[in-house]
Amino acid sequence: MVGLSQCSRKDCYQLQFPSTQDSTLTKGAPVVFDNGIVGYVEDVEKSSEGSVAEFCLPNAVQIPKNSKIYVGFIQAFSVYGIKIESSSESGFISSKELLQGFPMDSIEVNFSVSDTALTNKLIDVVKDINEEQKSKKDSTSKE
């Protein structure tokens, strides 16, 4: 297992996924649980089996066993991210387990009408993070 140590809390997970998505998934990308943003990508590294992303969730959020986890373009935010579709199984996945992510070209997220103001604010936050990441890449490539 890749040693991504940015997140030392027990509420951080490691997700292995095919390398085809690795260049588009970046630090700060949103993690969507069912239809709400609950976390962010802390780091992404290449491994021999593909890539590994580490993401953090609030302590109160646990991933049910047999949930499906996808990596792809989240249309609502115009960025790549992670979507967790929870199962109805009892029991939860340990954060010590290496999770498997499935590539998905386009991830749909359906927020309720009452979430519109919050959604717009979150979209702005995600765009700011992406711009910041892009600026850092541009400044390091010029040096």
List, for residues 85-128, the tens digit of each pLDDT value.
Answer: 999 998 999 888 999 999 988 888 876 655 556 666 666 777 77
Please report where in the chains the tokens 């604010």 appear, as a residue. Answer: 121
The answer to whether position 6 is within a domain reads no
* Per-residue pLDDT tens digits for 24-70: 788 889 999 887 888 889 999 887 778 899 998 888 888 999 999 99
The token pair at 44 is 């992404």
Collapse the DSSP code of 95 into the 3-class scheme (helix H, G, I; strand E, B; otherwise coil) and give the result: coil
Total-model pTM: 0.71
Q: What is the pLDDT of residue 113?
A: 55
The token pair at 133 is 């990441």
The answer to whether position 80 is within a domain reads yes
Is-contact 105 73, C-beta < 8 A?
yes
At residue 8 the predicted structure's pLDDT band, cuts being 50, 70 and 90, is very low
The answer to whether position 7 is within a domain reads no
The answer to whether position 117 is within a domain reads yes
Domain count, the chain: 1
Question: 15 versus 76: which is more confidently predicted?
Answer: 15
Q: Distance (Å, rounded) from C-alpha 59 to C-alpha 139?
A: 35
At residue 3 the predicted structure's pLDDT band, cuts being 50, 70 and 90, is very low
Collapse the DSSP code of 125 into the 3-class scheme (helix H, G, I; strand E, B; otherwise coil) and give the result: helix
Residue ranges making up the domain that contains 33:
12-142
